[in-house]
Amino acid sequence: MTSPVYNFSAGPAVLFRSVLEKAQSELLDFANTGSSVMEISHRSKEFERVNDETEADLRALYNVPDNYKILFMQGGATAQFSAVVYNLIPGGKSQPADYVVTGAWSEKAVAEAKGLGAKVNVVCNTKASGHNGSVPPVSEWKFSPDAAFVFYVDNETIHGVEFPEFPFDAVPAGVPVVCDMSSNILSRPCDVSKYGVIFAGAQKNIGPAGVTVVIIREDLLSRKSPDFPCPVCLDYKICAANKSLYNTPPTFAIYLSGLVFKHLIAIGGIGAITAHNNRKAEVLYDAIEKSSGFYRCPVQPAYRSRMNLPFRIYKDGQPSEALESLFVKEAEARRMSQLKGHRSVGGIRASLYNALPLEASAALAAFMTEFAGKHA
């Protein structure tokens, strides 16, 4: 390779090079076993050590309280849309579950819950605005006082909407908050004690696709209702009781996630990666703002994501798909990949997950300025 490839993929996403090199060095002989970590038993002492260290390092990174369990589950984060219904509605189909809808993934969560027969109450919904971050004031949110939980997505990957801070104080007393944190977990500080459940697919900020992290408060492990018969592989209580080993876990994905956690600790933890991520986002938003309307981010400034930056290119007052296609093509020629926007919204999207270097944002910003100079 004569120059680096800057991978702006929304997921599976870029991984730290040093982590990949570490995995490469151990690929054929892990821990002097003479085998790959993918070839050893998930019940061996060698993998048990991997599993335990991975959990301990995540607990340290996020200061996870002792009364929370950390689970490594299969099925991707989308499977958790069903899992929270199966596990967390003790009142069954008569008890409401509250959902805050700010983008495509929270919409999908609502659809999944309704499909299972749950009584869904939509607290607020930004679909009418195209999910552009026009979140109504909390005073207008319509919570259920007896809700089984309040569900929200912290960062909407497709629409680029991220909560600067969730309004926990507005949630009715005793109602646990459930959060899909797939696309911004470990990217900034998080007070885990404010949540009932946090879950996140690994393939953006944690590791490779194949494992989903679930952080759950212990008192929520026994809330299942016979109205929602829970598949054994989605049962939080069984998973916790068996240290995520009831079913053969995605061993390589857990191992590589553990290497990522160790890397984050080594570079200074959440504080260091937060500063890194903030700077990457600032560089690109600055390029958009300085383009005199050539580039436009559709998301309201207060809710703009630091992880996923969607934008359109405008010509004569209208979005130009021709210029956007040209932009993506020329960016790829400069070894900047995966910039095409999600098929449902179009445009361009730059994903700036933890492992993406600052140099990538700087290179993209420089190209944006040059491209606008030619075509504005």
Contact present, 247 and 337 (Cβ < 8 Å): no
**Residue where a domain terminates, one of 266, 292, 316:** 266
Contact present, 315 and 375 (Cβ < 8 Å): yes
Indicate whether 357 and 323 sit together in one domain.
Answer: yes
Indicate whether 121 and 49 sit together in one domain.
Answer: yes
11 is a domain residue: no
93 is a domain residue: yes
Indicate whether 189 and 292 sit together in one domain.
Answer: no
Indicate whether 131 and 170 sit together in one domain.
Answer: yes
Indicate whether 205 and 324 sit together in one domain.
Answer: no
Q: CB within 8 A of 94, min separation 6: which ones?
A: 119
Q: Indicate the pairing of strand 177-180 with strand 150-153.
A: parallel
**Residue 220 is encoded by which pair of tokens?**
């929520």
**Residue 358 is encoded by which pair of tokens?**
């600052």
112 is a domain residue: yes
Q: CB within 8 A of 248, min separation 6: which ones?
A: 42
12 is a domain residue: no
Largest CA distance in the chain: 64
Number of domains comprising the chain? 2
Indicate whether 127 and 240 sit together in one domain.
Answer: yes
Indicate whether 225 and 367 sit together in one domain.
Answer: no
Place of tokens 């160790």: 262
**3-state secondary structure at position 90:** coil
d(CA 336, CA 350): 10
Indicate whether 106 and 225 sit together in one domain.
Answer: yes
In 234-276, DSSP assigns E strands to: none
d(CA 55, CA 69): 9
2 is a domain residue: no
Supply the residues annotated as catalytic: 105, 180, 204
CATH code, domain carrying 340: 3.90.1150.10
CATH code, domain carrying 153: 3.40.640.10
Question: What is the H or E stretch that residue 142 is in?
Answer: none
- How big is the CA angle at 310 (ends 308 and 316), to the nearest 5 degrees? 165
**3-state secondary structure at position 3:** coil
**Blockwise average pLDDT, block size 10, the chain, 376 residues:** 82 95 94 91 92 97 98 94 98 98 98 98 97 96 97 97 97 98 98 98 96 98 96 96 93 97 98 98 98 97 97 95 98 96 92 97 98 95
d(CA 201, CA 153): 12
**Residue where a domain terminates, one of 247, 266, 285:** 266
Contact present, 189 and 278 (Cβ < 8 Å): no
CA distances from 89 to 75, 121, 202, 277 (A): 21, 13, 26, 36
- How big is the CA angle at 133 (ends 132 and 137), to the nearest 5 degrees? 135
Indicate whether 236 and 286 sit together in one domain.
Answer: no
Contact present, 291 and 141 (Cβ < 8 Å): no
136 is a domain residue: yes
- Written as one letter, the residue type at 358 is L
Indicate whether 71 and 151 sit together in one domain.
Answer: yes
d(CA 158, CA 105): 8
253 is a domain residue: yes
Dihedral sign, Cα of residue 108, residue 113, residue 119, residue 121 = negative
**Residue where a domain terminates, one of 237, 266, 295:** 266
d(CA 213, CA 199): 5
Indicate whether 359 and 252 sit together in one domain.
Answer: no
- pLDDT confidence of residue 3: 66
**Residue 173 is encoded by which pair of tokens?**
């007393």
10 is a domain residue: no
Backbone angles phi, psi at 113, to 5 degrees: -60, -45
pTM, 2 dp: 0.96
Q: Which domain holds residue 38?
A: 18-266
Indicate whether 58 and 197 sit together in one domain.
Answer: yes
Backbone angles phi, psi at 337, to 5 degrees: -110, 165
